[in-house]
Amino acid sequence: MDGYVPEEVRKCEEFMDRKMKPSLVRATNERNKLFEQQKIFSDLRKNIENLQKNSITNLRTMVNIGSEVYMQAEVPDTQRIFVDIGYGFHVEFTWDEALNYIPLREELLARQIEECTRRIVRIKADIKRIHEGIRQLLQIPQEPYVEERVF
């Protein structure tokens, strides 16, 4: 094998390690954050539905005032909730209004997750293509295609 081919291979590998893999990692992290947000809002919705169902008017809870030091807190009137709608804004809602808003938010999050997933898939496909190119350059025999189970 002459020295030129490994040079190409090396360049491909470098490109992959330096550009593709970090972007893949970044995209995956973004998607994870979106997943978390989704979970937060779905939990909130469940809790509000719970409150509504049991007509809970006041609440005793423990508030974290920092470094896991908690203090008792009392909510005398649970009718008004301030919900985070993004960009640092919180809107005062009643239960029903909140229950109206939260699904809309969840929808938005789902769309964002979808977009992120597409990006990730694209990056993964690029990585695979480069792998294939390297394989051809080094003339490694193709691995037999194993039929994978599709879930």
99 binds other proteins per the rule CB under 8 A? no
Q: Report whether 76 contacts 60 (CB < 8 A).
A: no
Q: Which two tokens stand for residue 14?
A: 């470098």
> Looking only at residues 40 through 79 of this chain, which bind other proteins when binding is defined by CB under 8 A?
40-41, 43-44, 47, 59, 61-63, 65-78
Q: Which two tokens stand for residue 138?
A: 């080094």
15 binds other proteins per the rule CB under 8 A? no
Q: Which long-range contacts (CB under 8 A, 24 or more apart) does 44-49 make?
A: 44/83, 44/98, 44/102, 45/99, 45/102, 45/103, 45/106, 48/81, 48/95, 48/98, 48/99, 48/102, 49/99
Of 8 and 14, which has the nearer Cβ to other proteins? Answer: 14
Of 101 and 135, which has the nearer Cβ to other proteins? Answer: 101
Least Å distance between CB 4 and other proteins? 25
109 binds other proteins per the rule CB under 8 A? no
148 binds other proteins per the rule CB under 8 A? no
Of 58 and 142, which has the nearer Cβ to other proteins? Answer: 58
Measured distance CA(151)–CA(137) in Å, rounded: 33
Least Å distance between CB 21 and other proteins? 19
Residue with tokens 């970090």: 22
Number of chain residues interacting with other proteins (CB under 8 A): 30
Q: Are strands 59-64 and 89-93 parallel, antiparallel or unpaired?
A: unpaired
Which residues are at the interface with other proteins (CB under 8 A)? 40-41, 43-44, 47, 59, 61-63, 65-78, 80-84, 90, 98
